[in-house]
Chain A
Amino acid sequence: MQRRELLATVAGGATIGLAGCASAGGSDGSAGPTIAEETLTLATTTSTYDTGLLDEINAAFQKRYGARVDAVAQGTGAALETARSGDADVVMVHARSLEDDFIREGYGINRRDLMFNDFVIVGPEDDPAGIDEVGEAIAAFEAIADAEATFVSRGDNSGTHTKELAIWEAAGVEPGGDWYREAGAGMGEVLNQANQSGAYTLADRGTFIAQRSKLALSIRVQGPIEDGPELLANPYGILAVNPAVHENVTYDLAMAYIGFITSQKGQSIIQEFTVDGEQLFFPEAISADPDFQQYVPEDWEPAE
């Protein structure tokens, strides 16, 4: 991406000029082969970005490889759409069914399991739908629908939204009516809205913990990390955009990024990343047991 290199240089120089101090940039002019000065575009979800995890990972990646990572934070659906049109080099998302479609259509390759956290059902302290005793996701959603307690949905085709719709379907509820609000917004915004209107919502644990101190909401149904139902598991995957479909992608750098983030170093950054002293994401890329399912769609079977 020659043009972006130039832009980065110009912008960097001007920023330094504006700041009035010559800070040492990440890209020094050291000799030898380097992929410094290149830019990798990462399309990702708001949950990884808003928690601050990506800044830690990307700073470490930039330090090691000298290449800048431009992270565009969108919902999972929008992130995959950006990658479909070849505007991103690598995608980090959390909706296996959408990732599988993406792989089947030929846009994504070399998917790796990256990390997981879980979803939690959060709601106001007075718990108007009485789901505290339920302790189970499907029944909790049924109770919310029965009580017609206000529920704020992401409504943005994100990974969290996909999970939420799957739970409604499992509960046999067609959500609608005054109590069900589609926000069409990111996780942080939806938590704010739920907070303002004393509503329930489905949130990823990471974003909820990161914002918890500003919210009058608390966890009503735990996810699997705290022994909740497995249905609320939230696995993240990372995929490279297929260079056979989009010639312009920086595929080698994308694979370097996937390699870095699934390496001991990358995984330990994820392991050690905490907000308010609480771990948000759990690495799962490093394993001695072969797991072929991470590379292909979940129901994929080799042709006989």
Chain B
Amino acid sequence: MIALEPTVLSLLGAFPFDRVYVESIIYVSLYVSLTAVVLSTLASIPIALGVGFTDFPGKGFVIAVINTGMGFPSVVVGLLVLFLVSNQGPLGPLDLVFTKEAMIISQFVLAFPVITGVTLAAVTSVEDGVRDAAYAMGGTRVDVALVTVKEARYGIATGILAGLGRAISEVGSVLIVGGNIASADGTAITRTLTTAIQLEARQGRFDTALILGAILVTIVLSINAIVLRLGGGRV
């Protein structure tokens, strides 16, 4: 097999296991976690803005729930999502159990409170003066929201990174709802870096587990570095 990308991928070829196997694991990890984080972000920001800038009864309770969710155990989320997507559960007919989609659902649930919580803190700390000025200049509610998001963008980026960190590094829920499946030809189906590390450790192949761990850390580090650079070092 010819290495088309000589830099990173040829390094992978030197590892004590199949290249296709590792690449497909990395792909599954990124696909599941990035999709979950994108969906969480799309849901989180409007909700954080809504909660942050409106007063309603029970607001304190909602914030408490969001903050609690930031630390919700991933295995419990996995178990609840399993009940949801299992053949016996409400989403049973969609046949989602042991698929990447089920894993996306559980990581969405995990990342959502983190992104919402940090975004909420970021947007509420935007000074009132900024929003008042936007109003005064004749901005609509959408304009004001956009100005607020722009002001709070570094805080929001931190929230998204924290959500991604939580999603890509958790093992409990993806193991339960995904089943850690690889096909017989060595292509990961629902096997992520974390569940692969768990499997390799279970089989006593600690060297392979460590290399997969290093890949995981490198990926998280790279994403953080990219966002940091885009943010001009202010994230």
Contact residues of A with B, CB < 8 Å? 1-4, 7-8, 11-12, 14-15, 18-21, 23, 26, 41, 46, 50, 54-59, 61-62, 68-73, 85-87, 185-186, 188-189, 191-192, 210-211, 214-215, 246, 248
Restricting to B20-73, which residues have a CB under 8 Å from any CB of A?
20, 23-24, 26-28, 31
Does the CB pair A188–B202 fall under 8 Å? Answer: yes
Closest residue of B by beta carbon distance from A18: B27
Most buried by A among B93, B94, B189: B189
Asked, given contacts A4-B95, A21-B2, A87-B98, whether A68 binds B183 with beta carbons under 8 Å apart, the answer is yes
Evaluate contact between B184 and A19: CB separation under 8 angstroms.
Answer: no
Check: B124 CB closer than 8 A to any chain A CB: no
Check B183 against A14 for contact (C-beta < 8 Å).
no
**Minimum CB distance partner of B203 in chain A:** A188
Complex CA distance for A19 and B3, rounded to whole angstroms: 9
Known interface pairs A3-B95, A21-B2, A50-B203; A26-B185 also in contact (CB < 8 Å): yes
- Measured between beta carbons, the chain A residues less than 8 angstroms from B185 are 26, 59, 62
Who on chain B is nearest to A189 by CB? B202
B179 contacts A72, C-beta separation under 8 Å = yes
CB neighbours of B4 from chain A (8 A)? 20-21
Q: How far is the CA of A189 from the CA of B204 in the complex (A)?
A: 7
Q: A4-B99, A7-B100 are in contact. List 14 more A-B contacts (CB 8 A).
A: A2-B95, A41-B98, A46-B202, A62-B184, A68-B183, A69-B183, A70-B179, A70-B183, A73-B180, A85-B88, A87-B87, A186-B202, A188-B203, A214-B204
Residue of A nearest to B96 (CB): A3
Interface size on B, residues (CB 8 A): 42
Interface residues of B in 168-222 (CB under 8 A from A): 179-181, 183-190, 201-205
By a CB distance below 8 angstroms, the chain B residues around A72 are 98, 179-181
Among the listed A19, A55, A185, A192, which residue makes an inter-chain contact with B23, where contact means beta carbons less than 8 Å apart? A19
Give chain B nearest CB distance to A70 CB in angstroms: 5
Q: Which of A19, A62, A86, A248 contacts B20 (CB 8 A)?
A: A19
Give which listed residue, A69, A71, A211, contacts B203 with CB less than 8 A. A211
Q: Is there contact, CB below 8 Å, between B27 and A15?
A: yes
- Asked if B14 lies at the interface with its beta carbon under 8 angstroms from chain A, I say no
Q: Flag B94-136 by CB within 8 Å of A: 1 or 0 each.
A: 1111111100000000000000000000000000000000000
Decide yes or no whether B1 CB sits under 8 A from chain A.
yes
Q: Is A87 a contact of B86 with CB atoms below 8 Å?
A: yes
- Pull 29 A–B residue pairs with CB atoms less than 8 Å apart, ordered by A: A1-B95, A2-B95, A3-B95, A11-B28, A14-B31, A15-B188, A20-B5, A21-B1, A23-B20, A41-B98, A50-B203, A54-B184, A55-B186, A56-B184, A57-B184, A58-B184, A59-B184, A61-B184, A70-B183, A72-B98, A85-B86, A87-B98, A185-B202, A188-B202, A188-B204, A189-B201, A189-B202, A192-B202, A215-B204
Residue among B87, B99, B184, B204 making CB contact with A7, cutoff 8 Å? B99
B residues engaging A (CB < 8 A)?
A: 1-2, 4-5, 9, 19-20, 23-24, 26-28, 31, 86-88, 92-101, 179-181, 183-190, 201-205
Which chain B positions have C-beta within 8 A of A186? 202
B204 A246 Cβ-Cβ under 8 A: no
How far apart are B18's CB and chain A's nearest CB, in angstroms? 11
CA–CA, A23 to B180, complex, Å?
23
Describe B's contact surface by its main secondary structure. Answer: loop
Question: Chain A: which residue is nearest B24 at the CB level?
Answer: A15
User: CA of A254 to CA of B79 in the docked complex: distance in angstroms?
Assistant: 26
Question: A185–B95 Cα gap in the complex (Å)?
Answer: 28
Minimum C-beta distance from A51 to chain B (A): 9
- For A69, give its contact among B88, B184, B188 (CB under 8 Å): B184
The complex places the Cα of A1 from the Cα of B76 at a distance, in Å, of: 27
Residues in B whose Cβ lies below 8 Å from that of A46: 202
Which 9 residue pairs of A and B lie closest in terms of their CB atoms, listed nearest first? A86-B87, A58-B184, A59-B184, A72-B179, A20-B4, A188-B202, A214-B204, A188-B203, A70-B181
User: Looking at A8, A54, A85, A87, which has the most chain B CB atoms within 10 Å of its CB?
Assistant: A87
> Please, which residue of chain B has its CB at the minimum distance from the CB of A211?
B204
> For residue B188, which residues in chain A have a CB less than 8 angstroms away from its CB?
15
State A57–B87 Cα separation when bound (angstroms).
Answer: 27
- Alpha-carbon separation in the docked complex, A26 to B93 (Å): 28
- Nearest B residue to A70 via CB reads B181
- Complex CA gap A3/B28 in Å reads 18
Q: B94 is contacted by which of A3, A41, A59 (Cβ under 8 Å)?
A: A3
Within the complex, the shortest CB–CB distance from A187 to chain B, in Å, comes to 8
Tell me the complex Cα distance, A261–B188, Å.
23
Cα(A21)–Cα(B190), bound, Å: 21
Chain B residues within an 8 Å CB radius of A20: 4-5, 9
A79: shortest Cβ distance to chain B, in Å?
11
- B189 x A11 contact (CB < 8 A): yes
